[in-house]
């Protein structure tokens, strides 16, 4: 299987008109900074004009520049959508075909009615991330059956509403300035009439596209950028006069974006979901040094902000596949935010260092929650480890001493400083954390408890990583860290894990003094498995093995006739199986993805939680797509515990699975075939 074949295994082909909209999921496209979901027309009608959404997933365009900081939390806002201005009155098409080609990012939709044929093509350019290309062609028996008008409709979601002004209007281009709260964004639509008549009309609602004649072929460019970049946006849009020129450039951009690293799994559904997962990551994240997108990418579903923890579940997959530019950009963004996070940490916890904020701010002018934290989850104190892990692992892949010193080291050091400042010695000699305010990773657990297990794992990782890195930098670059002595002392004494041990069950509670019977089957997430997938501690001890064996008993809904998984629990089980070397466990988890409604029936995408729980508005959950990428790649080959291991969790049905140009620290590349499951 070639790279192109591995990617196109995930192509989407739909040849049936969606009779039941609630069972029809719109398709996600994006450039990494600009994107949205497109419906059965190749437009964005779901919920347009205030109508009730009639299917899972939102349909509007979002852009990384369009965010509001009016309140005490910065959030991205929906910007605009493409929709039929007054609906589509031609009924159900006689023939229908919609295809999404992952390798080129092209969505093509063709509808044929008696007397009217319509083709709409959409694509983004991962190299010029402010642009979307739209090609519309139609033929009709007579002009009375002309294509209905389409609107590029502006959205308004900020408390301050929306204000707009026309910056420029010509026969073939309209440029608007759109403000919503503190968001200040330029939106442009440029039309090239290859055949037929098209009139652009700016209105209070957006930009209308009115078609005339019995046939037409039009190429339109839609652009968005912060208002201060409007001149650059105009220059980008002026660079393309034809659909062919934009398609050629976008195709080259996608080819470069896919790179040369891939896996080939001989189970069609598993391979398809691998390709689709990576594609959605590319749609959502770019190599720009800025705040990364929310877990729903630019779909607009779920959250209007990002989470360091969730990004850390995607980051290792990017490193393995050689997409260091994206992985590196995230870390460099966090490095820029150290001063603000340090101030937040001192104000909120009275602690040193950086406790990386749960719902992370988008811009540098963040006010530190001057009016109070938006919710209790901001005090999940395990969160300090995730930027540190991303920084350290990126440094190992880059092998750049200057970058390690200037970017990686400050993040790792400040994360370790936070834990060092809140750890205190317990009566039994171990080091614990009693901190108010605080909260654990298991959102079903309590607040302000002692010794959250997740936070002890995170503290150990940060102290160990910082101490090791301080030693390396002292030897190679002349950096000294006296505080590393304290970090090592804590590690030598050990953290307060034994205070959490349920000796009958042989596993740790999620925090101190909690009775295991109160948490068994009630956890949202399998916190006890963190060292197997989220926080690599370099060991697989008896407590971890026992927790892995009992993983289904820990979490709500994971057992019983009707399995339902909350959040990223089931994808975490997959990657835990890969790192535990359990091919049977991985096979079991994969077989549960669709029946549990965690994955849509056609293996199109992963929901944030099982769809049967009612979270219909949370498709394309990149957090779980990142975990899935890691799981299937690491089942074939990984180095999670230090040494490279091949095929340790490769299911028997994957015999013959191949891997090509997968990256490892130090610039190493590995390729090969797993002829049979190796254990």
292 Cβ contact list (under 8 Å, min separation 6): 284, 285, 306, 311, 329, 330, 333
pLDDT at 54: 66
Is residue 575, in this structure, part of any structural domain at all?
no
Q: What is the mean pLDDT of residues 595-610?
A: 93
pLDDT at 187: 98
Determine which helix (DSSP H) or strand (DSSP E) holds 218, and give its type and residue range: strand 206-226
Beta strands in 358-409 (DSSP E): none
Q: Is the pLDDT of residue 33 over 70?
A: yes
Query: 385-421, pLDDT tens digit by residue?
Result: 999 999 999 999 999 999 999 999 999 999 999 999 9
Query: 479-505, pLDDT tens digit by residue?
Result: 777 889 999 999 999 999 999 998 989
329 Cβ contact list (under 8 Å, min separation 6): 286, 287, 288, 289, 290, 292
Query: 620-673, pLDDT tens digit by residue?
Result: 999 999 999 999 999 999 999 999 999 999 999 999 999 999 999 999 999 999
pLDDT at 161: 82
pLDDT interval class at 144 (50, 70, 90): low
d(CA 405, CA 479): 9
How many domains is the chain partitioned into structurally? 1
Classified as helix, coil or strand, 78 is coil
Q: Is the pLDDT of residue 462 over 80?
A: yes
Classified as helix, coil or strand, 222 is strand
- Tell me how far apart the terminal alpha carbons of the chain are, to the nearest angstrom: 25
Average pLDDT score, the chain: 93
Query: 502-542, pLDDT tens digit by residue?
Result: 898 999 999 997 665 567 788 999 999 999 999 999 999 99
State the burial class of residue 494 (Cβ atoms within 10 Å of its Cβ: 0-12, 13-18, 19+): middle
The whole-model pTM stands at 0.96
Classified as helix, coil or strand, 315 is helix
Is residue 161, in this structure, part of any structural domain at all?
yes
Q: Is the pLDDT of residue 339 over 50?
A: yes
Which ranges of 113-188 does DSSP label H, i.e. alpha helix? none
Is residue 453, in this structure, part of any structural domain at all?
no
Is residue 130, in this structure, part of any structural domain at all?
yes
Query: 224-263, pLDDT tens digit by residue?
Result: 999 999 999 999 999 998 999 999 999 999 999 999 999 9
Domain limits for position 251: 39-256
pLDDT at 20: 80
pLDDT at 58: 84
How far is C-alpha 85 from the chain's CA centre?
32
Is residue 71, in this structure, part of any structural domain at all?
yes
Q: Are strands 183-203 and 431-433 parallel, antiparallel or unpaired?
A: unpaired
Please report, for residues 10, 58, 358, 384, the alpha-carbon distance to residue 462 in angstroms, rounded to integers and kept in the order given.
Answer: 38, 38, 17, 8
Is residue 409, in this structure, part of any structural domain at all?
no
DSSP letters along 486-555, please? HHHHHHHH-BGGGGGEETTTTEE-SSTT--HHHHTTTBSS-GGGHHHHTS--S---HHHHHHHHTHHHHB
pLDDT at 464: 98
pLDDT interval class at 377 (50, 70, 90): confident
pLDDT interval class at 142 (50, 70, 90): confident
Kindly report the backbone phi and psi dihedral angles of residue 442, in degrees, each rounded to the nearest multiple of 5, phi listed first. Answer: -75, 105
Specify the CATH number for the domain of residue 172.
2.70.98.50
Is residue 508, in this structure, part of any structural domain at all?
no
Contacts 24+ apart (CB under 8 A), 500-505: 500/451, 500/453, 500/456, 501/543, 505/546, 505/550
Query: 43-65, pLDDT tens digit by residue?
Result: 999 878 766 666 777 899 999 99
Q: What is the mean pLDDT of residues 614-624?
A: 85
d(CA 344, CA 360): 12
pLDDT at 679: 47
User: Greater confidence, 443 or 665?
Assistant: 665
pLDDT at 516: 56
Q: What is the mean pLDDT of residues 312-331?
A: 99
**Residue 371, Cβ neighbours under 10 Å: how many?**
10
Cis peptide bond N-terminal to 58, omega within 30: no
Is residue 122, in this structure, part of any structural domain at all?
yes
pLDDT at 434: 97
Yes or no: say if 523 and 551 are a contact pair by the CB < 8 Å rule.
Answer: no
Residue 283: name the closest of 430, 64, 58 by CA.
64
Yes or no: say if 191 and 220 are a contact pair by the CB < 8 Å rule.
Answer: yes
pLDDT at 53: 67
- Give the torsion through C-alpha atoms of 604, 316, 584, 8, to 10 deg: 30
Q: What is the DSSP letter of 665?
A: G
Range scoring the smallest mean pLDDT among 5-14, 304-313, 467-476? 467-476
């Amino acid at each position: 299987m070639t790279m192109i074949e591995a990617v196109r295994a995930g192509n989407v082909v739909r040849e049936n008109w969606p009779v039941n909209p609630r069972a029809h999921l719109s398709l996600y496209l994006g450039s990494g900074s600009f994107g949205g979901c497109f419906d059965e027309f190749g437009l964005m009608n779901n919920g347009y004009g205030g109508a009730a959404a009639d299917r899972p997933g939102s349909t509007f365009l979002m852009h990384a520049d369009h965010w509001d900081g009016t309140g005490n939390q910065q959030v991205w806002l929906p910007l605009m959508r493409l929709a039929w201005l007054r609906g589509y009155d031609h009924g159900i098409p006689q023939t229908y075909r919609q295809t999404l080609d992952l390798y080129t990012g092209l969505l093509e939709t063709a509808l044929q009615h008696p007397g009217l044929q319509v083709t709409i093509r959409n694509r983004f350019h991962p190299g010029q991330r402010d642009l979307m290309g739209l090609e519309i062609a139609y033929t009709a028996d007579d002009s009375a059956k002309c294509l209905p008008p389409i609107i590029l409709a502006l959205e308004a979601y900020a408390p301050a509403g929306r204000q707009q002004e026309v910056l420029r209007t010509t026969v073939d281009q309209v440029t608007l300035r759109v403000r919503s709260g503190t968001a200040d964004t330029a939106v442009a639509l440029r039309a090239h009439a290859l055949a037929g008549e098209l009139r652009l009309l700016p209105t209070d609602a957006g930009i209308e596209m009115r078609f005339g004649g019995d046939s037409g072929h039009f190429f339109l460019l839609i652009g968005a950028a912060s208002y201060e970049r409007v001149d650059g946006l105009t220059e980008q849009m002026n660079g393309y006069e034809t659909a062919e020129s934009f398609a050629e450039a976008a195709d080259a951009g996608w080819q470069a974006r896919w790179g040369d690293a891939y896996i080939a799994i001989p189970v069609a559904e598993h391979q398809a979901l691998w390709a689709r997962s990576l594609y959605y990551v590319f749609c959502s994240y770019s190599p720009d040094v800025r705040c990364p997108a929310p877990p729903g990418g630019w779909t607009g579903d779920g959250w209007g902000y990002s989470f360091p923890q969730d990004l850390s579940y995607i980051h290792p997959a990017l490193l393995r596949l050689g997409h260091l530019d994206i992985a590196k950009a995230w870390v460099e963004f966090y490095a820029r935010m150290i001063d603000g996070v340090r101030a937040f940490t001192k104000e909120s916890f009275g602690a040193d260092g950086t406790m990386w904020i749960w719902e992370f701010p988008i811009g540098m002018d963040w006010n530190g929650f001057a009016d109070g934290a938006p919710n209790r989850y901001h005090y999940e104190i395990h969160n300090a480890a995730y930027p540190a892990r991303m920084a350290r692992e990126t440094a190992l892949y880059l092998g750049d001493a200057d970058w390690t010193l200037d970017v990686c080291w400050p993040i790792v050091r400040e994360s370790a400083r936070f834990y060092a400042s809140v750890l205190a010695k317990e009566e039994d000699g171990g080091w614990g954390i009693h901190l108010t305010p605080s909260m654990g990773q298991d959102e079903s657990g309590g607040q302000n408890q002692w010794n959250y297990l997740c936070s002890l794992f995170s503290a150990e990782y940060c102290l160990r990583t910082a101490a090791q890195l301080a030693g390396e930098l002292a030897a190679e670059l002349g950096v000294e860290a006296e505080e590393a002595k304290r970090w090592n002392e804590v590690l030598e004494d050990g953290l307060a894990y034994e205070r959490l041990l349920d000796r009958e069950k042989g596993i740790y509670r999620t925090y101190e003094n909690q009775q295991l019977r109160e948490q068994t089957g009630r956890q949202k997430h399998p916190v006890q498995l963190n060292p197997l997938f989220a926080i690599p501690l370099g060991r697989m001890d008896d407590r971890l093995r026992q927790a892995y064996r009992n993983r289904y008993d820990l979490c709500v809904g994971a057992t019983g006739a009707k399995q339902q998984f909350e959040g990223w629990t089931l994808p975490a089980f997959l990657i835990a199986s890969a790192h535990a070397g359990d091919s049977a466990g991985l096979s079991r988890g994969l077989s549960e993805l669709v029946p549990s409604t965690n994955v849509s029936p056609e293996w199109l995408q992963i929901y944030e939680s099982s769809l049967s729980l009612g979270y219909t508005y949370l498709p394309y959950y990149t957090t779980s797509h990142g975990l899935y990428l890691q799981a299937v790649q690491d089942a074939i080959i990984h180095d999670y515990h230090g040494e490279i291991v091949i095929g340790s969790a490769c299911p028997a049905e994957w015999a013959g699975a191949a891997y090509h140009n997968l990256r490892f620290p130090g610039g190493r590349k590995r390729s090969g075939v797993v002829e049979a499951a190796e254990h």
